[in-house]
Every structure is written in structure tokens, then in C-alpha cells.
Structure 1
Amino acid sequence: MTATLTATGTTPAGTTPAGRTPRGPRGLVWAVLRVHRTALVFWGLALTAATAGLLWMYAIADEARRPYVPCSEPVAADGYPSCSSLEAITADDYYSTGIALATSALTFAIFPVAAWAGGALIGRELESGTARLAWTQSVSPVHWLAAKLAVPAVLLAAGTGAVVLLNSWAQTDGNPNVVGDWYGPDIFVGSGPAAVAHVLAGLALGALAGLLLRRTLPATGAGLAAALLLYGLTELYREDLWQTVTRRGPEGLDPGRSAWVVDWQSTGTEGATTVKVTFHPESHFWPLQYVETGIVLTVAAAATLAAFWLLRRRTP
């Protein structure tokens, strides 16, 4: 072989001349990308569609908010436009629907990711024996699993994070009349780092399900069930993740349009009624986001560690 290379000055297919570094992804990373190229293409198309849609939402945002600016009836007067003309040209329905679709897609991305990770990413390769074949080709089980998780984790985190930023940008001033209340389940998760955390947790939980069951369909179902459980628990206990604010006052006490009211109690007799309102003001959005993100990332880390521990237990 050495003589042939010297005489011809070329190298066999798949090799590189001495001293040169191969270009592009290689080894396990390249294998993961090739095996799951269909999922990669789907993810790329989904990101492209989300980006295009949110750019359009931003473009029509001003028009969508026009019915909620000062106006006059029945005709324009005192420098204010006619309310009827604004209602006739508004794009608020398109805008509200588009924002709702984007936030829902971000929120529920955890479910298909968990199902895919359990079935296609891990379960199928263990069931078919592809994983064991890889382990005999100078690839340790630990390195195999690390690549299986690291590659999609980077792509999912980068893509989801980018769409979250675009979604927040497209919502401009966040007018609840057109984008919904900040504490709505879909809007809350899809508007902050919690969306990225949930997607990564779905990946880790699905991978753990695949290693536990080692079969495609059961692992798919188990990964989906684990994601559903995590999402349900975070939604159920979200209001308890940060200290609420309590106010007492007369019957007409109003905590404000943006307040997330979690409890309302009325006491007293007629004519002297006192109300007690417990709520989260809009300023609690980020504390709630950070706490939920930390909890969900902890679940993701625990599931990842459990997956590696289980792999070590079941392999030489």
C-alpha cells in the first residue's frame, strides 16, 4: 500500500493525505446525522416554517393592535381614528392565531421529541441489534449513547431557543388582547427558556425509556407518557413555584388585567363585603420561568444520568 501511494500520489477512497485534518463531521456524529436524516430534515422544515410565520406575525403586529388604540365613534374626531374603520381593516385574527400556533408548537414539542427519542433514536437500534454491532466496531457503549444524546440535544436546544426568541420578538409589546395572557399554559412555556428545558427533558426521558424497554413501540409509548406526566405536573404546580401576592380590599378590588389570579375569597355581609385576592403579577413571569426551567433541566439531567447508569449495568 505504501508503494502504491508513493507511486500514484493519491489516497484510497475514505482516507486523507498525511498531515491533513478531515473536513466535516466524522465518526459517531456523522453516523447519527445520517441515520436520522429524515428527522433532521423534518426539524429543519419545521424551523423554517416557524421562522417564516413569525416574521409575518411581526410584520402585521402593528395592524393587529390598531383596534386597541384610542378611537372615536361613530366617526373620526379629536385626532382619533374611527373605531369602525379600524375594526374593518384589522389583522388581529390572523396575528392572534399565528402567535397561538407558534407558542403551542413550542410547548408541545416535548411530546414528539420524547416519542422519537424512545423509539427511533434508542429503542429501534437496541431492538434490531444495530447498537451492539456499533459496540463491536471500536465504539464503546458510553460513547455511543453520548453521541446519540449530544447531537440532537445541540440541534434541539439551538432550534427551540431561536424560535422562542423570534416568538418573543414577534409579540412586540405583548398586548394580551392579541397574544393572550402571559400565564396561559401554552403562552407561558412557549415564551421563555422553559420551552428549551422541556424539549431537552423529552429527549432524556425518551432515551431512558428506550434503554429500559429496548423495543421500538413500547419505548415510544413510554417516552410519550413520561413527557405527558412531566408537562402535567409542571402545569399543575406552576402557580406554587413562586411566592404569590395577596391583597385585601372592598368588593370592587381589581388586581389588574395582567394579574394571574389564583384565589379569590369574599367575606362579610351585604354592604360591607371584603375580598381577599391572591395572584401573580406580570412581574413574576421571569421568576416562574427560571424556577420551572431549573426543575425541568434537573429532571433532564437525572434522566440522562439514569440512562448512562442503566447502560453500564447492562453492557460489559
Structure 2
Amino acid sequence: MTTALTATTAPAERTPGGPRGLLWTVLRVHRTALVFWVLALLGATAVLIWMYAIGDEARNGIVPCATPAGDGHPSCASVEAITVDDVYAGWIALVATALTYAILPVAAWAGGSLIGRELESGTARLAWSQSVTPTRWLAAKLAVPAVLLATGTGGLVLLNNWARGDGDPDLVGDWYNADAFVGTGPTAVGYTLAGLALGALAGLLLRRALAGAGVGFLAALVLCGVLERFREDLWPAVTRRQAGDFELPRSTWPLGWDTTWGPHPGEGEPLSTSATFHPRTHYWPIQYVETGILLAVAAAATLAAFWLLRRRTP
């Protein structure tokens, strides 16, 4: 009877390689990167809250003025005395740049620390020998940072849009500028996920921390350059032609002009003008197409990483 009771009340043993075990192992091994990511998120959040708080004052520094004040316009001297607009524009641009190029350190970390170092040191094989299959090991390695990166980056994008207010291009840049475009939409999340997958694939290919970090960084840099170069071609542009000359609104992305002159080019008014451009309404279609490309790259790199791991392990 005593034996039966003892067997009944004995606590169930946890499987070392269970999902919870893998989750906490990834977080514990890479706790330095986790702390850095949390501090970066907190710092960026504090900056964006500050930018929101001074946003109205910053916008007062770029209003039309008159000397002397009149016709409803403040004096130019009083407007020039407002310097908070420079502070606002500078910090907003810094956050946008950080969101745009977060893919680069993410890819380097994934190739070097997340995958490459563990393969080089033999830590990965030690985990595989403790009832954790290579596939489950890689799935945990990718899933945990993917969730943290997507959540953190997505939250910062929302905060960035909130802090930008009405998006005055004189303060925050035109929507088609590289940093402003990526830092305000889902492409920022797509870039970090693509960087994670490319870095992991580089680490598996090279099985060395330094080489994996370098190749992952290079792959992410090439991806950024290619998409930025061909971004204007991701959605059909609009062409407008009319007699004489005309100007495009500030919110449009001009791609090219074609002017037809009379018998004396450069003299007088042109006969007709043609402009090719992306209107402001093309922001979301281009965002969706670019995000789709990035997610496809992330998915392809992830599948390639699992295929390569299966080829190299029994």
C-alpha cells in the first residue's frame, strides 16, 4: 500500500527537450541580446513619447511668417526663435533610420551568435544528444526571436506614426524617402524577419560565428539595396501629360519629366509636359508588395535552413 501511494504522489518529470525547456534555453543562452533589445525598445519608446509631446511646438516653427507680422502670420523673428523643430526632425529621422536598418544587426547576430557560434562550439550537438531533435532545436531558435522582433518592431512602427502626427514633410521627410517609408509601415517588420532568416541560413552554411555574422550582414545589406533601388517599380506609376507647364504636389514621388518645346527650345512656355510619378495613395500598395517580397525571402531562407540542417544531420 505504501509503495502504491508513493508511486501515485510522485511528481511527473519534465522532459528536458520539451517546448518550455527549449523556450527558456533560447532566452537564457541569448539573454544579453534580449536585454539589449529590451533596452533599445525602451529607449526608442521614450524618445517617441518625447517627440509626440513637443510635436505641436515643432510644427509652430515651420509656419509661414511675415516681417513685420501681419495678414494672420507671425513675425519671422519669433518663428526663427523656435528651435525645437530641429530637435524634433533630428530624433524622428534617427528613429526611422534605426527601424530601416535594424535588419543589418539582426542578420549579423543571427548568423554569428544565434546559429554560427553554437555549431562552431558544439553546443548545438550537445542539445541534440539530449532528446532535442535538430529540427525542434532550429524551430525554437527561430521562433523565439521572430516573435520578439516582430512584436517589438511593430510596436515601434505604431509609436513612430503616432509621434509623427500629421506627417508634415518639412519635419519628418517625404513619404517616399527610404527611412520614412520603411519606418512607418509593415516593411520594417518584414525586414527584421528577413534578416533573421538570412542570418540563420548563413550560420548554418558556414558553421562559424564570425563568418556567419559577416555573410548574414552582407546578405541583408544587398537585400536592402536591391529593394530600395527598385522600390519605384513595385507598383505601376502614373503618367500625366498636359499642355504647357505644371508642378506636382509636394506629396507625390516624381520619377521623370518629359518636356516638348516649340521651334526654339528653352524659350517661352513648353508646348506640353509629361510627368511620371507615384501619388501619395501608392504608399500602401508599395508597402504591401515590398512586405510580401520580404516575407517570401524570409520563408525561402527558413525553408532552406531546415533543408540544409536535415541534410547535415542524421
- Say yes or no: TM over 0.5: yes
Calculate percent identity across the aligned residue pairs.
68
Give 1:271's aligned residue. Answer: 268
Aligned to 2:126: 133
Query: Gapped runs of 5+ residues in structure 1?
Result: 12-16
**How far is the alpha carbon of 1:81 from its aligned partner?**
2.8
Question: 2:278 corresponds to which residue?
Answer: 280
Residue 123, structure 1, aligned to residue 116, structure 2? yes
Query: Could you say which residue in structure 2 is the equivalent of 1:37?
Result: 31
AA aligned to 2:292 is G
Q: Secondary structure at the match of 1:312?
A: helix
Paired residues, what number? Answer: 302
1:222 maps to which residue? 215
Aligned to 1:206, what secondary structure does the other structure show? helix
Alpha carbons 1:63, 1:90 under 8 Å: kept: no
2:46 to 48, 52, 56: 52
Query: Which consecutive aligned stretches of 4+ in structure 1 deviate over 6 angstroms post-superposition?
Result: none
How far apart are residue 252 of structure 1 and its match?
3.1
RMSD: 2.1
Aligned partners of 2:207, 2:77: CA distance in 1, in Å?
A: 62
CA contact (8 A) 2:107 2:196 kept: yes
Aligned counterparts of 2:77 and 2:289: Cα–Cα separation in 1: 44
Aligned with 2:294 (options 293, 296, 300): 296
The amino acid that maps onto 1:111 is L
1:115-264 paired onto structure 2 within 5 Å? 115-264=108-257
Contact (CA 8 Å) 1:161, 1:196: kept in 2 or not?
Answer: yes
SS at match of 1:89: coil
Q: CA deviation digits over 1:259-312, x for unaligned, max 9? A: 110111222223352221100011111111011000111000000000001101
Secondary structure in 2 matching 1:54: helix
Contact 1:66 1:90 in 2 (8 A): no
The TM-score, its normalising length taken from structure 1, stands at: 0.91
Q: How far 1:258 sits from its partner (Å)?
A: 1.2
- Mapped to 2, the partners of 1:35 and 1:312 lie a distance apart of 23
Q: Tell me the TM-score normalised to structure 2 length.
A: 0.91
Residues 245 and 269 in structure 2, CA contact (< 8 A), matched pair in contact too: no
The DSSP-based 3-state class of the residue aligned with 2:241 is: strand
- State the secondary structure of the residue aligned to 1:278: strand
C-alpha spacing 1:268/1:296, structure 2 compared with 1 (3 Å): same
- Secondary structure (helix, strand or coil) at the match of 1:256 reads coil
Which one of the candidate residues 60, 63, 66 is aligned to 1:72? 66
CA distance in 1, matches of 2:161, 2:80: 25
Deviation at 1:78, TM superposition (A): 4.6
| Cα offsets for 1:178-221 (capped at 9, x unmatched) | 00111001111111000000000000000000011101111111
Q: What is the distance in 2 between the residues matched to 1:215 and 1:96?
A: 41
In the alignment, which residue of structure 2 is the partner of 1:100?
93
Letter aligned with residue 125 of structure 1: E
1:15-74: per-residue Cα shift (whole Å, max 9, x none)? xx4599xxxx83111000000000000000000000000000001111111133344321
Separation of aligned partners in 2, 1:189 and 1:109 = 11
Inter-partner Cα distance in structure 2 for 1:27 and 1:18: 15
Residue 113 of structure 1 aligns with which residue?
106
Distance 2:192 2:82 in 1: 38
Which region of structure 1 is more displaced relative to structure 2, 180-189 or 136-145? 180-189
**Unaligned runs of at least 5 residues, structure 2:** none
What do residues 227-274 of structure 1 show as CA deviations (whole Å, max 9, x unaligned)?
Answer: 011111100110001111111134531111111101112222233522
